[in-house]
């Protein structure tokens, strides 16, 4: 059990912290990695500031099996992720010739110094090449450096996913009912005690003016998850509400 790989996401970009841009990568990465048995244990959103990136990378790469960063690998002055990661590892940036070749084909005479910057990777890094962009991401030890644009981040993740050591896939089921959380909280706590290998979460919602809750059971033991959901359905009926039929999330 202690062998379960873990992940940390570093979302790099002033635009996320300022509220200009809604991050969409954590949702995708959290879902994809859970399915691969690599639960995301922490996510940090940090600005485009070199010392902040270096500090976060060097702290988190010790604590988690895998780090995934998004953002800051484009051609402009505020794209400093690659240079910061090189410094975090104490290496220089080196020109990656296959990427230069690909970019030359893509940009022809419009390949300039700013664009060429995207072909410089930390020495020793493994490039992440995709079909959606000529500029690469890269892997430096356990740190996976990806673009911030969601379609590119997803393509880069898909490219590196086969290289990751997976754990036991996390499965989940949920069950909804129009019931206040406080009505069922005591019973939920008892069920959580009984099934310590299932992570039971309770999330209130408000729909068409009615209060309801969604209870999620997550873990790697399918039988235990099923037992938890069935027991909760029974309790909901005892409390006089009919649970909304659940769908398996995966």
Residues binding its own copies (CB under 8 A): 14-24, 26-32, 34, 39-48, 52, 74-78, 107, 110, 112-115, 117, 149, 151, 170, 172, 180-183, 185-186, 188-189, 192, 199-204, 206, 216, 218, 249
Residue 106, SS3 per DSSP: helix
Specify the residue, 43 or 161, whose C-beta has the smaller distance to its own copies. 43
Q: Shortest approach of its own copies to residue 187 CB, angstroms?
A: 9
Task: Compare residues 91 and 93 and give the one whose CB is closer to its own copies.
Answer: 93
Q: How many CB atoms lie under 10 A from the CB of residue 120?
A: 18
Q: Closest CB to its own copies among 124 and 150?
A: 150
| Least Å from the CB of residue 124 to its own copies | 26
- Between 222-238 and 181-194, two packed helices, what is the crossing angle to 10 degrees? 140
Q: Whose Cβ is closer to its own copies: residue 76's or residue 90's?
A: 76
Site of tokens 């030359």 = 104
Q: Chain-centre distance of CA 33, in angstroms?
A: 7
Indicate the DSSP class of residue 16.
Answer: H
190 DSSP β-pair partners: none
Ramachandran quadrant class, 13 (left: phi over 0; alpha: psi -120 to 50; beta: rest): left
Write down the least CB distance from residue 6 to its own copies, Å. 11
Residues 6+ apart with CB under 8 A from 168: 4, 37, 220
Residue showing tokens 């240079």? 83
Cβ proximity to its own copies: between 79 and 139 the closer is 79
Q: How far is the CB of 87 from its own copies (least distance, A)?
A: 19
Q: Which is nearer to its own copies, 123 or 168 (CB)?
A: 168
Residue closest to 152 by CA, chosen among 223, 40, 95, 70:
70
Closest CB 162 distance from its own copies, rounded Å: 20
Q: Least CB distance from residue 28 to its own copies, whole Å?
A: 7
Least distance (Å) from its own copies to the CB of residue 35? Answer: 9
The residue (of 114 and 166) whose beta carbon lies closer to its own copies is 114
Q: Which residue spans within the chain are E strands per DSSP?
A: 7-12, 40-46, 66-70, 93-95, 120-122, 126-128, 137-140, 143-146, 171-177, 199-207, 210-219
Residues 116 and 99: their CA atoms lie apart, in Å, by 9
């Amino acid at each position: 059990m202690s062998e379960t790989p873990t992940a940390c996401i570093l979302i790099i970009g002033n635009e996320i912290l300022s509220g200009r841009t809604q991050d969409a990568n954590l949702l995708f990465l959290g879902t994809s990695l859970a399915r691969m048995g690599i639960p995301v244990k922490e996510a940090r959103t940090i600005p485009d500031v070199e010392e902040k990136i270096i500090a976060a990378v060097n702290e988190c790469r010790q604590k988690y099996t895998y780090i995934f960063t998004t953002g800051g690998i484009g051609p402009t002055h505020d794209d400093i992720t690659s240079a910061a990661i090189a410094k975090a590892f104490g290496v220089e940036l080196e020109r990656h010739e296959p990427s230069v070749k690909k970019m030359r084909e893509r940009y022809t005479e419009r390949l300039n110094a700013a664009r060429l910057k995207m072909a410089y990777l930390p020495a020793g890094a493994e490039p992440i090449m995709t079909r959606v962009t000529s500029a690469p991401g890269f892997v430096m030890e356990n740190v996976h450096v990806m673009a911030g644009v969601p379609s590119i981040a997803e393509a880069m993740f898909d490219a590196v996913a086969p290289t990751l050591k997976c754990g036991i896939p996390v499965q989940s089921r949920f069950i909804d009912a129009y019931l206040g959380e406080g009505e069922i909280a005591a019973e939920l706590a008892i069920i959580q005690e009984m099934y310590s290998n299932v992570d039971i979460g309770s999330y209130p919602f408000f729909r068409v003016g009615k209060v309801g809750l969604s209870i999620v059971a997550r873990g790697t033991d399918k039988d235990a998850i099923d037992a938890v959901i069935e027991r909760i359905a029974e309790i909901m009926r005892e409390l006089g509400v009919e649970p909304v039929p659940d769908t398996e999330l995966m």
